[in-house]
Every structure is written in C-alpha cells, then in structure tokens.
Amino acid sequence: MGIYSKPALFALLSVVLILAGTFVTTILPIYMPSTQPVSRYIKPYTAVELEGRDIYIREGCNNCHTQTVRPLRTEVARYGEYSKPEEFAYDRPHLWGSRRTGPDLARVGGKYPDAWHYQHLSDPASVSPVSNMPAYGWLAGRRLDTGYTFRKVSVLGYGYSRQEVTEQIDSYRVRVTAPDYPARDVRSRVTPPEFRNYLTEMDALVAYLQKLGRDVKELEQGRQVALQENESGKSEVQ
Ligand code: HEC
C-alpha cells in the first residue's frame, strides 16, 4: 500500500510539503527585490513630509480619515483617480484606514492652497461650519523635532545622505518663513511669534498633506502622454 499505510510518514511528508509551499509563496517574496514595480513618478517623502506623516500618525488622523480611493464610481467622482498598489511603495506603515468620519485624504495634495490647511487645522469649523474635526492649532506652537529624521529616512531606505536631509529641512524652513510665502499671513496668525522663524509641527503636517496623491496625478498624466505618443507611433508605453 506504500505511503498510505504509514500515517506517521504521511503526516511528516505533508507537513514538509506545506512548509515548502509556504516558504516559496510567502517567505521568499519578502526577500525578492520587488514583486511590484514602482513607477519613476512615485517618489519617497522628503524629510519634512516624513516628519509630517509621523505627526499625522501620532495625532491619530488616520482614525477619522482613510487614504485609499476604491474603484467605485461614487468615490472616483468625489476624490479622483482610484488608488493603485504602487503608490504605497514608500508607506510604512500604510495608512489606508477603515473609518471615514472625515473624507478620504489620498488625493488631498494640491486640492487646497497651504493657507487653507493652516486655517483649517487651527480651526476646522471656520472653513467648514459643520465640521466635527478637532482643532490642532497647538501644533503651530511646537518646534519640529528633527533629531531623528536622518535615522528614520535611513531605516526606510529612502537613500538620502545626512547632508540632503539637512538641506531639505533648511530649504523648507526658508520657504515657509520667506516674506513671499503665499500662506504667510495665516501662518503668522496661527503661529506664536517665538516659533515663526522655525519649522513647526504644523508646517510639516501641511507639507505632508500637500504631498498626498500628487505623484499619482503626475503618473496619470505621464501615462496619458505615453498613450498618446504610442498611438501616434512615437514611443512605447512605460
Ligand atoms: C474626529 C474625526 C477627525 C479627526 C481625528 C481628524 N479629522 Fe480631519 N476631518 C474630519 C471631518 C469630519 C472633516 C470634514 C469637515 C472639514 O473639512 O473639517 C475633515 C476634513 C479634513 C480635511 C479636508 C479634506 C477635504 O478634502 O476637504 C483635511 C485635510 C483633514 N481633515 C486633515 C486632518 C488631519 C491632518 C488630522 C490630524 C491632525 C485630522 N484631519 C483629524 C474629521 C476628523
């Protein structure tokens, strides 16, 4: 009767087979360079955006806001292009969320000017009267702690040098403190005077919100251009 009359051996072989299958289908892919190609349009967060993301997580914004647009007509009409797997390539952990007390934020980058975000974060009801979102004005009274930024981007494998991280932080500070920063008035109003010349946690959070979904818009535009060029026989689709 061969193997069928030897239950112990049969069980042992089954276990070995199942473990081998598990190894090949789940463990091995973890160490493969990439099972999902990332388009050149999807870029890692800058140092400041990453700090903003950490504040978003710390404050639990993801308990009220999702970051994934489902491929449903109503969602695409409301939020924009539905989410693609590759756009989460640099999201560790991902913030898809499961609860929508507030709207989805996956496409909020570029939807409003920076000034709107400073105003809204400081006093949501002032721009959206029925809003039940808590006010986060106090974030403007806290200097951004960049002590661990370089370590964070290194662990996440973004590949920035220490100098690049410092430059990114400095150039964003110069941008938001410049006299011609478009959101200057509202930023000065919500930020306590002693913090106006520094990067605050609110600055980083606004930088992060403005990044959400922007790469995808470029990706879609890039695909459109590639498709048109392909139709006219100029280049192949990427
Ligand atoms: C208690 C739930 C709740 C929490 C927590 C919350 N929000 Fe909101 N959020 C809302 C609601 C409701 C709205 C819609 C009304 C409005 O615009 O204020 C909203 C709107 C927004 C919008 C505008 C979206 C759009 O497309 O108009 C942004 C941006 C936003 N929230 C960011 C944040 C950030 C950043 C945090 C964390 C610091 C946060 N929210 C925390 C409930 C919440």
pLDDT digits (tens, 9 = 90+) for 4-33: 899 999 999 999 999 999 999 998 888 887
- Give the mutation target among 53, 57, 65, 107 for probing the ligand 1 site: most ligand atoms within 8 A of CB: 65
Question: pLDDT per residue over 97-134, tens digit each?
Answer: 999 999 999 999 999 999 999 999 999 999 999 999 99
Q: Relative to the CA of 124, which ligand 1 atom is closest?
A: 18
Does the beta carbon of 97 lie inside 6 Å of ligand 1?
Answer: no
Q: What is the pLDDT of residue 226?
A: 79
Q: What is the pLDDT of residue 238?
A: 47
Q: How many whole angstroms from 183 Cα to the centroid of ligand 1?
A: 19
Q: Given its phi and psi angles, is residue 110 left (phi above 0), alpha (psi -120 to 50 degrees) or beta?
A: left
Q: What is the pLDDT of residue 35?
A: 67
What average pLDDT does this structure show over 177-206? Answer: 97
Choose the weakest-confidence range: 27-36, 131-140, 162-171, 213-222: 27-36
Q: What is the pLDDT of residue 237?
A: 47
Model confidence band, residue 182 (pLDDT cutoffs 50, 70, 90) = very high
Does the beta carbon of 209 lie inside 6 Å of ligand 1?
Answer: yes
Q: Relative to the CA of 117, which ligand 1 atom is closest?
A: 29
Name residues whose C-beta falls within 8 Å of residue 185's C-beta, 6 or more positions apart in sequence. Answer: 115
Closest to 70 in 3D by CA, of 81, 60, 62, 82: 82
Q: What is the pLDDT of residue 41?
A: 84
Distances in Å between the Cα of 35 and the Cα atoms of 22, 38, 85, 149 are 17, 9, 11, 28
On the CB side of 63, how many CA atoms lie within 13 Å of its CA? 6
- Give the mutation target among 69, 118, 133, 209 for probing the ligand 1 site: most ligand atoms within 8 A of CB: 133
Write the residue with the smallest CA distance to atom 34 of ligand 1. 61
Of all residues in the chain, what percent carry a pLDDT higher than 70? 96
Name residues whose C-beta falls within 8 Å of residue 72's C-beta, 6 or more positions apart in sequence. Answer: 82
* Better-predicted residue by pLDDT, 231 or 2: 2
